[in-house]
Amino acid sequence: MSKPQNTKLVIAISSRALFDMEKSHQVFVEQGIEAYCRYQIEHENETLEPGVAFSMVKKFLALNQSDQQMVEIVLISRNSADTGLRVFNSIEHFDLGISRAAFTGGESPYQYVAPFGATLFLSADPEDVRQALDSGIAAATILPSQGDGSNNERLKIAFDGDAVLFSDVAEQVYQSHGLEVFSATEKEAANEPLPGGPFKPVLSALHDIQVHFGSKESPIRTALITARSAPAHERVIRTLRAWDIRIDESYFLGGMDKGLFLQTFDADIFFDDQSGHCDSARQYVPTGHVPSGVSNN
């Protein structure tokens, strides 16, 4: 099936990433699908609380102008239309501009991400995320996080490098041969751009929106927060230059903990492939785990 062509950024998101549905999910886990359906119908007029990705979604939708829609959010849910009514009631309550949805009645919804033309899929279900990644779509598992998004109007998105923005070819060298060989290899290949990773299309789409608004007026700010350090930094910088993609801030931490840097950047969301970095990050900011590359084999 060919992917629909879009001039806007389309993001597919699950109901559990958008709203706090832990109570109802616990009913499903402990009592089964029938009890879950009854619970949702009985509470369908009770507004769901915002979830981990809510702030990010709200800021994305605020980018849309009266004459041009820059971003579309579509809901992809394992709910049925019946049990999903509570989700749409909550969307209406918060005045979110979300009108398209797929309710799959318990089936894995990832296969509907591509027909919607989505560049990014965010879900609380790790298996759905893995399947989306395997099909070539950028995807992340939204983790329970302490932070609820940036405190300012600007949308701030942070990315790890290897296995997220870039492929994991360098990470494979590091894990197989250690830091010394990795550093030497990356220095030698400094002028050779890294292959793109699963989130390159996401960064490219964000860059296009930034160009539309202009650098001074851009409502989006991006950051690269990587465990790399000199001399392995040069290949990353030259890769972004070769892609002709702007990234606003870059931090080469040389293995330091990322959490406090993300808190200082005030990220609305951070994407990383390594569980350890995600565990640190989610203590401070909304975090998505990208189960790609050698670290997740």
**Judgement on whether residues 173 and 69 belong to the same structural domain of the protein:** no
Instruction: Establish if 43 belongs to a structural domain.
Output: yes
Instruction: Establish if 228 belongs to a structural domain.
Output: yes
Residues annotated catalytic, as ranges: 160
Instruction: Establish if 149 belongs to a structural domain.
Output: no
Average pLDDT over residues 123-148: 92
Instruction: Establish if 64 belongs to a structural domain.
Output: yes
Average pLDDT over residues 267-277: 95
pLDDT over threshold 70, residue 24: yes
Mean pLDDT is lowest, of 27-41, 81-95, 131-145, 217-231, for 27-41
**Judgement on whether residues 80 and 50 belong to the same structural domain of the protein:** yes
In this prediction, residue 178 has a pLDDT band, given cuts at 50, 70 and 90, of confident
In this prediction, residue 72 has a pLDDT band, given cuts at 50, 70 and 90, of very high
Q: What is the 3-state secondary structure (H, E, C) of the chain?
A: CCCCCCCCEEEEECHHHHEECHHHHHHHHHHCHHHHHHHHHHCCCCCCEECCCHHHHHHHHCCCECCECCEEEEEEECCCCCCCHHHHHHHHHCCCCCCCEEECCCCCCHHHCCCCCCCEEEECCHHHHHHHHHCCCEEEEECCCCCCCCCCCCEEEEECCECCCECCHHHHHHHHHCHHHHHHHHHHCCCCCCCECCCHHHHHHHHHHHHHHCCCCCCEEEEEEECCCCCCHHHHHHHHHHHCCCCCEEEECCCCCCHHHHHHHCCCEEEECCHHHHHHHCCCCCEEECCCCHHHC
In this prediction, residue 199 has a pLDDT band, given cuts at 50, 70 and 90, of very high
Q: Token pair of 183, please?
A: 């550093």
**Judgement on whether residues 160 and 290 belong to the same structural domain of the protein:** yes
**Judgement on whether residues 279 and 214 belong to the same structural domain of the protein:** yes
**For 97-120, how does the pLDDT look when each residue is reduced to its tens digit (9 = 90+)?**
999 999 988 888 889 999 999 999
- pLDDT at 211 (0 to 100): 92
**Judgement on whether residues 82 and 120 belong to the same structural domain of the protein:** yes
Instruction: Establish if 150 belongs to a structural domain.
Output: no
**Judgement on whether residues 171 and 287 belong to the same structural domain of the protein:** yes
Q: For the chain, what's the residue count? A: 297
Instruction: Establish if 1 belongs to a structural domain.
Output: no
**Judgement on whether residues 50 and 100 belong to the same structural domain of the protein:** yes
**Judgement on whether residues 133 and 161 belong to the same structural domain of the protein:** no
- pLDDT at 7 (0 to 100): 66
**Judgement on whether residues 241 and 166 belong to the same structural domain of the protein:** yes
Average pLDDT over residues 35-46: 88
**Judgement on whether residues 163 and 272 belong to the same structural domain of the protein:** yes
Residue environment code for 115-145, b if the CB has 16+ CB neighbours within 10 A, otherwise e: ebbbbbbbbbbeebbbbbbeeebbbbbbbeb
CATH of the domain at 160: 3.40.50.1000
Percentage above 70 pLDDT, the chain: 96
Domain end residue (candidates: 116, 142, 168)? 142
Q: Which residues contact 114 (CB under 8 A, 6 or more apart)?
A: 1, 3, 135, 137
- pLDDT at 149 (0 to 100): 66
Residues of the domain holding 43:
9-142
- pLDDT at 265 (0 to 100): 95
**Judgement on whether residues 221 and 124 belong to the same structural domain of the protein:** no
- pLDDT at 154 (0 to 100): 92
pLDDT over threshold 70, residue 293: yes
Average pLDDT over residues 193-209: 95
Q: How many domains does the chain have?
A: 2
pLDDT over threshold 90, residue 184: no
Instruction: Establish if 4 belongs to a structural domain.
Output: no
For the entire predicted model, the pTM comes to: 0.91
Instruction: Establish if 147 belongs to a structural domain.
Output: no
- pLDDT at 1 (0 to 100): 38
**Judgement on whether residues 107 and 33 belong to the same structural domain of the protein:** yes
Domain end residue (candidates: 142, 175, 204)? 142
pLDDT greater at residue 24 or residue 286: 286
